[in-house]
Amino acid sequence: MEIREKGSEFLKEELHKAQKELKLKDEECERLSKVREQLEQELEELTASLFEEAHKMVREANMKQAASEKQLKEARGKIDMLQAEVTALKTLVITSTPASPNRELHPQLLSPTKAGPRKGHLRHKSTSSAPCPAVCPAAGHALAPDKEGREVDATLFAEFQAWRESPSLDKTCPFLERVYREDVGPCLDFTMQELSALVRAAVEDNTLTIEPVASQTLPSVKVAAVECGRTNGFRAPIDTTCALSGLACACRHRIRLGDSKSHYYISPSSRARITAVCNFFTYIRYIQQGLVRQDAEPMFWEITRLRKEMSLAKLGFFPQEA
């Protein structure tokens, strides 16, 4: 009996020990299960975060690529424009040599016998013995009438010479104030006053861009749907509404002001008026930068020719497009 009781006690101790070990293993299993669930949740969150970050990086890369392509396109356009300006400047420098001007590019320098017949009425040659020279008060020297029948206006020439001493784009100086009042202002005075003011400011800041447009990109003529010549989504005919004059006509060019993405379709007449003013500003900027090396009188006649172009463009005369 004693042996049996000892054996029973031993078995109870072993059973208690086994139960205790089993309880510890259950607790360990539960703890490991929680760790596994926590790791699985963290893995899912990490996977989702990685996918989101990858999509974000792809979107940013696409946006950067689009921006780079746009900048490349704009840079190429600016390069083409600068190359054209350099070519024009080289031509200008060539023609600016008083001893040997390029008469092919400056018809106003041709003699009457080579210039050919002129349209309009002709005046008979004066029978007076000698032409009366025009004396410029500011310069203090006489300016003889041009062989082609031109004569330097003493007041205008004096204002130009005063400006040429210290060239600037200040509109308050007498020379530019007169040009603004008589030529620039009227030439850029379009029907649409608000857009006209923006165009004038862009021209003065040298931030206006004129682009040719293909016929496929022009909006369809639906007067009720067209606002100031902006694109309305329709495609087909080449006729549209000029954003500056408000007239329905063939608009093969559009303008962009500064860095704005908005485009405005313009008629050939409006384009001629804008380009005439731009040509004037380009020339006086060249003078301001010291790139034009001529005497005062040839400079004055070139400016007069550019003012004449502005006047003709304002009156509706413009070269026919090909």
For residue range 219-248, list pLDDT tens digits in order: 544 333 333 444 444 444 456 899 999 999
Higher pLDDT, 81 or 312: 312
Q: What is the pTM of this model?
A: 0.53
Q: Give mean pLDDT, residues 7-30.
A: 87
pLDDT computed for residue 98 by the predictor? 46
Q: What pLDDT is stored for residue 214 in this prediction? A: 72
On whether the CB atoms of residues 267 and 245 are closer than 8 A, the answer is yes
Q: In whole angstroms, what is the distance from residue 256 CA to residue 248 CA?
A: 20
Q: Residue 312: its pLDDT value, please? A: 95
Question: Is the per-residue pLDDT at 287 higher than 50?
Answer: yes
Higher pLDDT, 133 or 29: 29
Above 80 in pLDDT, residue 180? yes
Higher pLDDT pick, 24 / 219: 24
Of residues 133 and 247, the one with the higher pLDDT is: 247
User: What's the Cα-to-Cα distance from 167 to each of 210, 220, 241, 253, rounded to whole Å?
Assistant: 27, 46, 39, 33
Q: Tell whether the model's pLDDT for residue 256 goes beyond 50.
A: yes
Structure tokens at 251: 């608009």
List the single range of 41-50, 89-98, 242-251 with lowest mean pLDDT. Answer: 89-98
Mean pLDDT of the chain, nearest integer: 79
Residue 233 or 12, more confident: 12
Mean pLDDT, rounded, for 300-313: 94
pLDDT in tens, 183-192: 999 999 999 9
Average pLDDT over residues 125-150: 48
More confident residue, 11 or 186: 186
Most confident segment among 85-99, 175-189, 200-214: 175-189
Q: Hey, is 141 helix, strand or coil?
A: strand
pLDDT, residue 145, reads 54
Does position 47 have pLDDT exceeding 70, yes or no? yes
Tally of CB atoms within 10 A around 294: 18
Q: Is the pLDDT of residue 70 over 80?
A: yes
Q: What is the mean pLDDT of residues 187-213?
A: 94
pLDDT over 60 (residue 316): yes
Which is nearest to 147 in space by CA: 128, 131, 135, 160?
A: 131
Backbone φ and ψ of 151, nearest 5°: -140, 130
Out of 122-131, 173-182, 293-302, give the one with best mean pLDDT. 173-182
Give yes or no for residue 143 having a pLDDT over 70: no
Per-residue pLDDT at 292: 87
> What percentage of the chain carries pLDDT values higher than 70?
73
Domain boundaries, the chain: 1-95, 154-213+238-315
Mean pLDDT of 165-178: 94
Handedness of CA 169, 317, 315, 299 (dihedral sign): positive
Q: Is the pLDDT of residue 156 over 60?
A: yes
pLDDT value at position 133? 43
Please give the full DSSP string across 207-274, using - where no structure is assigned: -EEEEE--GGGSPP--TTT-STT---S--S-SEEE-TTT--EEE--EEEEETT----EEE-HHHHHHH
The stretch 33-48 carries a mean pLDDT of 91
